[in-house]
Chain A
Amino acid sequence: MQASLVARRARLEPLLASARSLREANSPRGQQARERLIRSTGLSAQGVEFALARCLEATPSEAEITALLLATPESNTAHVLLSANVFVAAHRAIAIGLASSANVQVRASRREPEFAELLWSGAPHSFELKAELSPRAGDHLWAYGSDQTLHEVAKALPSGVTLHGHGSGIGLAVLEGEPDAPELTRIVRGLAEDTVLFDQRGCLSPRAVLVRGSAEFSRRFAERLAGELGRLEQQIPRGQLDPTEAAASTAYRDAAAYAGDLFEAGRGFVSYAENGQFQVPPVGRHLHVSCVPELGASLSELSPLITCVAFAGSARTAEQLQNQLPGARFSDFGRMQCPPFDGPVDRRAR
């Protein structure tokens, strides 16, 4: 490793150590983290635990870290504007800041400031928590949030500041053909877990499934997925939805019930449309399964929105999908929320 990379690599270590200690359920820091995160995220206790265990990248491989360092531009000062709800995302975002600069200033989400503070308390000399960011020419700003937030940030930015904006998106599951029984069980289980994480509030969270197969199989898949989500909810209950999320959930439920089949999936729903009609359900553990005659047309209108794809099918189709969705991350089912620690999870060109 080059000397400069070694120095940048060293800046990450206190942060990684802080994350590791937060993941330990029995440590005082780990216990404190769980108490605070349950209060701030609205996730259930089991939901917080599952997210920490599955998605907090406390022990990335050296290959991943090297990739992250090589992909991150160096800057005078790195500013990091965090979003809410996928609380572990603060860890990766701050790591990218540290890969860029020794001087990292972080503004946590006002709605969910806890995880950034928890990380800072274990690595207080690595970065600063700020109430506001004031980037100057030559600085880089990594901003995470809704497209509207990014638009407002970009408008207010002084000239000479490089903005790395990572906005809204969705995860998508794609099935081609009918997998055999063991594979189907694995896919359904993995997709349900991907959906349950963060109660589906992340940009990697799957929201819809495209099935290129028979209508009968597609419908059965939707029903089975709903059953798996219901079963998983017994282990990892859904947390609280805020009033607007709950209202959106109600509206989706009734529109979907009118338009096609609707299967109860714990406190969420899986909708199914045989006519290929596509929709993105609101967050809260809802998935829409759409039976499509071919993937190309369905994907073309969605491509700018897709951050992550889990795919089961032929190698040829996988290659086509990757060509069609060059900005999306491809992962296995059950790993959609665990992309390599090699840079921002959102790799779409903006």
Chain B
Amino acid sequence: MNRAQVRLSRSAELHALVQHFARGESAHAFGDLALQIAEFQREYSPGFARLCARVGAPLSRIEAIPGVPCDAFRLSRVAVHPEGEDAARFATSGTTGAGHGIHAFRALETYRVVALAAGRAALLSGTDPVHVVALAPELGDPPRSSLGYMMALFMSEFDARADSDPRAPERWLIDEQGVKWHALEQASENARAAGASLLLLATSFALVTLLDGRDGRELTLPPRSVVMQTGGFKGKTREISAPELRASIASCFGISESHVVGEYGMTELTSQLYEATLPGSALAATHSGGHGTYVEPPWLHVLPVDPVSLSPVDPGDVGIARIIDLGNVDSAIAIQTQDRVRRTGGGIELLGRAPGAPPRGCSLAVEEYLAARGA
């Protein structure tokens, strides 16, 4: 076998191991798999090899795996494989600014397995039928948004309807005119008529847009309906606090706040974290962190690190999140974010994004530069 064939074979082997792990069928430990993937990426990703060489520590424990900064996705290709092997390319949304980055996937089965496993545990509470809709624009073809792709997966797999085509326009409740309130009402009625609950997948800014534009209208969703809320605001709407937004969502839809479930994900990752608030869900059965605390799935580990030294902080201290995601087989096993986090008994507390170096004097801060470039 030539080098490319060896890489492909090893990649397939690692994907299979991660999928087994996510299904709870693996004898491997998390750390063992993470280190195997890190070694694989050091072998086939020159960028990661450079990063490892700069750090200089052997890849002997997960704390020694250097995190690839999110900015690297904007500056270069973060993948062990060439573009010709891409099965999907998801564009980063530009939290940190300009020049969207790309997270390239050689294969999507691992994404499918881990996203569905985590979503099922956090967003479904029983065996009752569910209808799934998204407060998001229609999925592009090919999909460029990892969030949109995940939403479509949930429509395909969680929706009880036999014809659950995730590309059906009525599933996507935002268009050029904004939120399709009437389509949401219709989706709610359809679910109620079928004896199903509604799972509404939404970003925070879409929810604020909906709440701001509803003109006093209220819509009581069917019993046991759930709203999955993800993401920040990114300057697209007015910002409101998480508790205020959650209370407004619950009030608007006539659901309990426990049925508004926060999700934390990013394009640079394959996996997601959720709040364990939904009564009856598998996640709530094993975790009790409440709102604001996000539970890592078994195939993902968050390491809070010091923002300057990048060394792990003491337990309970605030650091920035280095996220080790076994799903990132062909890209970056460890992602270094600028999100401030603290590990608590129940999971990971998100404390917002660390501010970039603020403008001092008249020197241009990096974030100002990025914003000026139109992100």
Q: Which residues of A line the B interface, CB within 8 A?
A: 83-86, 89, 109, 111, 144-149, 166-170, 198, 200-203, 205, 207, 242-260, 262, 273, 275, 277, 279-283, 301, 304-305, 346
Contact = CB atoms under 8 A, between A and B. Distances in A.
Interface stretch (B210-218, B284-292, B351-359): B351-359
B356 A244 contact: yes
Given A145-B359, A201-B363, A257-B51, 17 more contacts: A85-B360, A86-B363, A146-B358, A167-B362, A168-B368, A200-B363, A201-B361, A244-B355, A244-B356, A247-B307, A250-B310, A251-B69, A251-B338, A252-B71, A262-B54, A283-B363, A304-B372
Interface string B361-374: 11111101100110
A85 B364 CA distance: 13
Contacts of B369: 170, 280, 305
A282 B360 CA distance: 11
B105 interface: no
Nearest to A42: B360
A202 B363 contact: yes
Contact of B51 (A83, A170, A246, A254): A254
Contact of B356 (A205, A248, A256): A248
Interface stretch (B72-80, B190-198, B238-246, B248-256): B72-80
B368 A147 contact: yes
A349 to B, nearest CB: 15
A203 B47 contact: no
Given A258-B48, A258-B68, A282-B366, A246 B308 contact: yes
Interface residues of B, number: 38
Contacts of A200: 363
A283 B357 CA distance: 9
B336 interface: yes
Given A146-B365, A247-B307, A282-B366, A257 B50 contact: yes
B364 A203 contact: yes
B66 interface: yes
B69 A255 contact: yes
Nearest to B368: A168
24 contacts: A83-B362, A84-B361, A111-B360, A144-B361, A145-B359, A145-B361, A146-B365, A166-B362, A203-B363, A246-B308, A247-B307, A251-B307, A252-B366, A254-B72, A255-B72, A258-B51, A258-B68, A277-B75, A279-B71, A280-B366, A282-B366, A283-B360, A305-B364, A305-B372
Contacts of B357: 242, 244-245, 247-248, 282-283
A279 B355 contact: no
A254 B356 contact: no
A83 B361 contact: yes
A144 B362 contact: yes
A84 B358 CA distance: 12
B360 A255 contact: no
A203 B369 CA distance: 12
Contacts of A249: 308
A175 to B, nearest CB: 21
B67 interface: yes
A168 B371 CA distance: 12
Contacts of A260: 75-76
Contacts of A144: 361-362
A34 to B, nearest CB: 20
Contacts of A111: 360
Given A83-B361, A146-B365, A283-B357, A257 B54 contact: yes
Nearest to B338: A251
A166 to B, nearest CB: 7
A83 B54 CA distance: 36
Nearest to A82: B361
A78 B202 CA distance: 52
* 4 smallest beta-carbon distances between A and B, as pairs: A146-B359, A203-B362, A247-B307, A85-B361
B364 to A, nearest CB: 4
